[in-house]
Each structure stands twice: as C-alpha cells, then as structure tokens.
Amino acid sequence: MENKRAFIFRTRRLEVRAFAPEDHARLSEIGGKADVARMLSTVKAPWSDADVKSWIDESVYKQKLGYRAGVYLPDGKLIGFVGVGGTPPSCAFAIDSTYQDNGYATEAVEGLLVHAFEALDAQTLEAEHFADNSKSGKVLRKLGFQKLGEGIGKSAARLEPAPIVLYRLTKQQFKAAKHEIS
C-alpha cells in the first residue's frame, strides 16, 4: 500500500509524512502501549481515539517548526513518529516497540534534524528522555546531542514525576559531524 500523505522527508529506509485521519488507530496502538507511553510526556496508556485525534490536530505539519509526523516503512506501515516544536525547539520521537533495535529511531531522528536545521533553519534543538529510557539517550548521543544536565519530568502515563536527562545540539555541531540524509 503506497503512502499518499503529505511528504516531509525521506531517509534511506523510511519516509516521514504528515499524519492522515485514519492513522489514529495505529498511533493508539503504538503510543498507547505502556512501555512506550511512559517514556512520553503527553501520551496515556491506553491512548483513546479522541486523545490521539486531538494530539494529531495540535501539530499538523505547516513547513515550520512545531509539528509531529509519522514514520513509515516504504510499504506504508506506520511504525512511529517524530516531532519538533516548543520554545526553545525540542525534538521528540517514538518507535513501536515491535520495530525497536533496528536503527529506525536513529535514522528517523537524523532525518528530523537535517530537516529542522536545513529546511526550517533551526539553530539549536533540545531533547530529553526519562533516565530509565537508555535507548533514547543512546540515539541522542549518537547523533551528537550534548548532555546539559538532569531534571524531573512528567508523563501522562506515569503516576509520579521521574528523573530526566536534558540535551542540546546546535546546527554547527550537527554539520561538523557531517550528518545527511542518504
């Protein structure tokens, strides 16, 4: 099944496109898993259709910072999402736990960074992950993010606030590492 959603960028193995209304059910499956939702700030487990639709509507791609988009395999299968927005701009990502450990998160986030720095002219991006989410930390460090410090964050899928690790990456640092979309 070919994916006809608005194209944003492509990587070697993935396409990142704007969400379509019918994506809400698949997003609910991905983000609504307890092991995924607890690593995100705004997602509940389970993730209701109404909440997913609202989440999609809050950050539609408009060719500027402040969007979330789907990460798709070439066959059109939605396997996760990426996003960048806020003040200061911060990037976020999630990959369905079934597809983790295949390098998809690193590839999708690298594409997001190229797009944000090159097409949308971001100068600095921040990111964070819960301290008990070592996989996300590994992705961020691999792409050149520098640790700023630690703090406390909240997740709609956690009962209590939890420790987070904070990162920053500048456009110059990213370019110096010669990252590019294949």
24: helix, coil or strand? helix
Check if the beta carbon of residue 168 is closer than 8 Å to that of residue 147: no
Asked if residue 1 is part of any domain, the answer here is no
- Rounded to whole angstroms, how far apart are CA atoms 115 and 63? 10
Range of the domain at 51: 7-176
Asked if residue 31 is part of any domain, the answer here is yes
Asked if residue 181 is part of any domain, the answer here is no
Q: What is the pLDDT of residues 28-85, one digit of tens each?
A: 999 888 888 999 998 988 899 899 999 999 989 999 999 999 999 999 999 999 999 9
Check if the beta carbon of residue 127 is closer than 8 Å to that of residue 148: no
Check if the beta carbon of residue 11 is closer than 8 Å to that of residue 182: yes
Asked if residue 22 is part of any domain, the answer here is yes
Asked if residue 168 is part of any domain, the answer here is yes
Check if the beta carbon of residue 38 is closer than 8 Å to that of residue 135: no
- Tell me, rounded to whole angstroms, the distance of Cα 95 from its chain centroid: 8
pLDDT at 182 over 50: no
State the pLDDT at residue 20.
Answer: 85
**Number of domain units in the chain:** 1
Q: What is the pLDDT of residues 129-148, one digit of tens each?
A: 999 999 999 999 999 999 99
pLDDT at 1 over 80: no
State the pLDDT at residue 173.
Answer: 94
Asked if residue 2 is part of any domain, the answer here is no
- Rounded to whole angstroms, how far apart are CA atoms 125 and 38? 23
- Rounded to whole angstroms, how far apart are CA atoms 7 and 92? 19
Asked if residue 18 is part of any domain, the answer here is yes
What CATH number is attached to the domain comprising 99? 3.40.630.30
Asked if residue 61 is part of any domain, the answer here is yes
